[in-house]
């Protein structure tokens, strides 16, 4: 090295070193009094793991869906960032503040689980990396799927998105599960964005951008933040994968919209979810009027600024709810011993066969909300409480459960969507991006992850083969012949 400053770290790594040092100082000196010294150090370790993941992703010569970066980011946001703004969680009967012992144990398990997840992923890629490639080799070459077929499929996907958003499984309840698996709105959006960014010969309307905006608009009418954010996340991701430069201003705008809309969303839901709207344009207009009223109510509140921060903080916090599980299990709340896993493994069975099939929230979310004091049983009819695989694992088997679920999650994601040398085909990249959209909050309960996984993989294969056959026999002249190379900068 030519300079003393580069003896320990290459010059390109200094931004990560500076952020890591500043993060250490921030956690040591500005974390709230609830968090002991060891908790602050553990939070800093999570930051280091995030920085390492970011460096690895940015340094790749081939751009892929950022599954591992998303995991590291959500670990830090959910379990480390709350040190600056969360000292309790609001339950039905009172505020809950964990004991120092429970909080420190929770932090130790969080760090250990993330290290275990990444280690499991590395070993799985090394020894089982070809399994996922062989699975997705069963899918047809997406380069031979015509753009016309994809546009028709995207219209069907947008229709399913509207049905699921506004009617759930009340429409075609016996067939909705297989229908959503085969006509997946996220897969449709990914394929449409693939046409937009990877097929430079195609000009005209940016259909992928239009579909992303339409899906986000439907999410706005529903009042679900994730359904607003994810379509634009996919738009930015696919642009990045196929060579566009990331715009910091766009990312900042999305984050700002999330922060501003999150507390207003609660007011909107309180009105809209207890009201019946007419169908058609008049129903859309009425829903937008409710958004306007909710925004006005929020802005008139003198405590609106603090509510905005508290609402966003509460939504992101994962460490205090996990600490509650660590403190309350197995006494007074007993272990569940994996009772949700069996339901998850057969969840792909359609309702036409399994008549009393539970809703997706009934796999774990509703029971968690009731047992840990977030909602009453009646309250789960209109809302629920989110959790993650760490809390589910501890509730099932104690500390070993959290570690085991982290290990299994890492292995499955690595085998199916990463491979020994990264994604090995165009199709694997697109399918990984679509799955990342479905599990945007990627630290979801392991049982929910399993319930989604099988139906997604099988449904995606059926959809791609259907599109390939339609392209071959209906649009033989609409094949693309020279798609843009992944990660190219032109």
- 41-100 residue pLDDT tens: 999 999 999 999 999 888 876 677 888 999 999 999 999 999 998 899 888 888 999 999
**Nearest C-alpha neighbor of 106 from the set 313, 366, 386, 317:** 317
> 243 and 220 in contact (C-beta within 8 Å)?
no
- Domain residues of the chain, as ranges? 11-474
What lies within 8 Å, CB to CB, of 125 at 6+ separation is 414, 415, 418, 419, 420
Q: Indicate if the alpha-carbon torsion angle 67, 346, 186, 487 is positive or negative.
A: positive
> Tokens representing 354?
């399994």
> Is the confidence at residue 418, as pLDDT, over 50?
yes
What percentage of the chain exceeds 70 in pLDDT? 84
- 295-326 residue pLDDT tens: 888 777 655 555 555 555 556 788 999 999 99
> 44 and 23 in contact (C-beta within 8 Å)?
yes
One-character DSSP codes across 413-455: HHHHHT-BTB--SHHHHHHHHHHHHHTSSTT--HHHHHHHHHH
Whole-structure pTM value? 0.87
Residue 121: the pLDDT is: 93
**Nearest C-alpha neighbor of 452 from the set 434, 467, 466, 465:** 434
- 238-279 residue pLDDT tens: 888 887 666 666 667 777 777 777 777 777 877 777 777 777
The CA distance from 379 to 137, in Å, is 45
Look over the chain and give the mean of its residue pLDDT values, rounded to a whole number: 82
SS3 308: helix
> 84 and 309 in contact (C-beta within 8 Å)?
no
- Polymer length in residues for the chain: 490
> 85 and 30 in contact (C-beta within 8 Å)?
no
> Tokens representing 60?
């790749």
- 155-174 residue pLDDT tens: 988 888 877 766 655 555 55
């Amino acid at each position: 090295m030519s300079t003393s400053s580069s003896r320990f770290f290459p010059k390109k790594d200094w931004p990560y070193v500076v952020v890591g040092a500043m993060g250490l100082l921030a956690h040591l000196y500005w974390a709230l009094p609830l968090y002991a010294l060891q908790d602050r150090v553990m939070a800093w370790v999570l930051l280091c793991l995030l920085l390492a993941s970011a460096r690895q992703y940015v340094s790749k010569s081939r751009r892929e869906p950022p599954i591992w970066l998303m995991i590291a980011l959500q670990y830090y946001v959910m379990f480390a960032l709350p040190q600056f703004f969360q000292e309790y969680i609001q339950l039905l009967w009172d505020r809950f503040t964990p004991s120092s012992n429970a909080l420190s144990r929770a932090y130790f398990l969080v760090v250990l689980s993330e290290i275990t997840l990444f280690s499991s992923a590395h070993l799985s890629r090394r020894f089982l990396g070809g399994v996922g490639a062989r699975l997705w080799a069963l899918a047809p070459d997406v380069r031979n799927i015509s753009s016309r077929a994809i546009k028709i499929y995207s219209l069907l996907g947008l229709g399913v998105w509207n049905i699921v958003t506004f009617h759930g499984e009340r429409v075609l309840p016996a067939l909705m599960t297989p229908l959503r698996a085969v006509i997946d709105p996220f897969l449709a959006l990914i394929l449409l964005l693939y046409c937009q960014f990877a097929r430079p010969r195609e000009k005209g309307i940016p259909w992928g951008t239009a579909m992303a905006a339409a899906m986000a608009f439907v999410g706005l009418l529903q009042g679900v933040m994730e359904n607003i954010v994810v379509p634009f996340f996919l738009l930015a991701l696919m642009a990045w994968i196929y060579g566009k430069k990331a715009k910091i201003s766009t990312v900042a705008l999305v984050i700002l919209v999330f922060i501003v809309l999150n507390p207003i969303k609660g007011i909107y839901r309180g009105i809209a979810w207890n009201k019946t709207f007419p169908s058609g344009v008049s129903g859309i207009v009425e829903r937008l009027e409710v958004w306007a009223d909710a925004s006005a109510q929020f802005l008139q509140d003198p405590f609106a600024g603090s509510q905005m921060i508290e609402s966003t903080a509460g939504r992101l916090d994962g460490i205090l709810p996990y600490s509650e599980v660590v403190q309350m299990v197995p006494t007074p709340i007993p272990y569940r011993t994996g009772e949700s896993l069996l339901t998850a493994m057969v969840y792909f069975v359609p309702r036409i066969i399994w008549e009393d099939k539970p809703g997706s929230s009934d796999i774990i979310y509703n029971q968690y909300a009731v047992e840990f004091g977030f909602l009453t049983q009646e309250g789960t009819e209109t809302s629920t409480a989110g959790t993650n695989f760490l809390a589910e694992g501890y509730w099932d088997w104690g500390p070993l459960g959290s570690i085991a679920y982290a290990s299994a999650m890492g292995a499955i994601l690595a085998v199916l969507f990463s491979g020994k040398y990264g994604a090995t085909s165009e199709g694997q990249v697109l399918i990984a991006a679509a799955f990342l959209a479905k599990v945007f909050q990627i630290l979801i309960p392991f049982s929910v992850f399993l319930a989604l996984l099988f139906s997604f993989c099988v449904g995606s294969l059926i959809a791609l083969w259907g599109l390939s056959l339609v392209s071959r026999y209906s649009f033989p002249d609409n094949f693309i012949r020279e798609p843009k190379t992944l990660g190219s900068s032109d």
